[in-house]
Amino acid sequence: MIVVLFGSTGDLAKRMVLPSLYELHRRRLLPSEWTLIGNGRGDRTDDEFRSHVHDSIVEFGDDGPPSESDWQSFADRVHYAGGGFAVDDAGQLPDVIERARSEIGADATLVHYLALPPTTFAAYTEALAAHDLAAGARVVYEKPFGTSPESFTELDEAVHRALDEEQVYRIDHFLGKESTQNLHVLRFANGLFEGAWNAKHVEEIQIDVPETLDIADRAGFYDATGAFLDMIVTHLFQVAAEVAMEPPTSLGADDLLDARQAVIAAFRPLDPAEVVYGQYEGYRATEGIADDSSTETFVAARLWVDTDRWHGVPFLLRTGKMLDRSAQRLSVVFRRPDGPLTKLPADGTVLTFDLAGDGAIQLTLTVKRPGSGTDLDVARMEVPLDTLGDGLPPYARLIADVLRGDRSLFTRPDGLAHVWEVATPVLQHPPEVHPYPDGSRGPAAAADLAGPGGWL
Among 28, 17, 317, 56, CA closest to 171? 17
Q: Is 368 annotated as a binding residue?
A: no
Q: Is 54 annotated as a binding residue?
A: no
DSSP E strands, 239-328: 275-280, 298-304, 314-320
Helix H, strand E, coil C: the string for 82-126 is: CCCCECCECCCHHHHHHHHHHHHCCCCCEEEEECCCHHHHHHHHH
In the β-sheet with 110-114, what is the strand arrangement from edge to edge?
A: 78-81, 35-39, 2-6, 110-114, 138-141, 168-170
Q: Is 158 annotated as a binding residue?
A: no
Q: Is 13 annotated as a binding residue?
A: yes
Ramachandran quadrant class, 345 (left: phi over 0; alpha: psi -120 to 50; beta: rest): beta
Whether 429 sits among the annotated catalytic residues: the reply is no
User: How many H-runs (helices) and E-runs (strands) does the chain carry?
Assistant: 14, 15
Q: Is 321 annotated as a binding residue?
A: yes
CA separation for the pair 370, 281 (Å, rounded):
46
Strand-strand pairing, 350-354 and 360-368: antiparallel
Q: Is 200 annotated as a binding residue?
A: no
Per-residue DSSP letter, 236 = I
Q: Is 7 annotated as a binding residue?
A: yes
Q: How many CB atoms sit inside 10 A of residue 334's CB?
A: 18
Annotated catalytic residue, options 79, 235, 311, 418: 235
Q: Is 9 annotated as a binding residue?
A: yes
Tell me which H or E stretch contains 352: strand 350-354
Q: Is 211 annotated as a binding residue?
A: yes
Q: Is 177 annotated as a binding residue?
A: yes
Q: Is 76 annotated as a binding residue?
A: no
CA separation for the pair 22, 33 (Å, rounded):
15
Give the N- to C-terminal CA distance of the chain in Å, as an integer: 46
Which active-site residues does the annotation give?
235
List, as residue ranges, the binding site.
7-14, 41, 143, 173, 177, 211, 230, 321
Residues in binding site for NADP(+): 7-14, 41, 143
Q: Which residues are annotated as a binding site for substrate?
A: 173, 177, 211, 230, 321
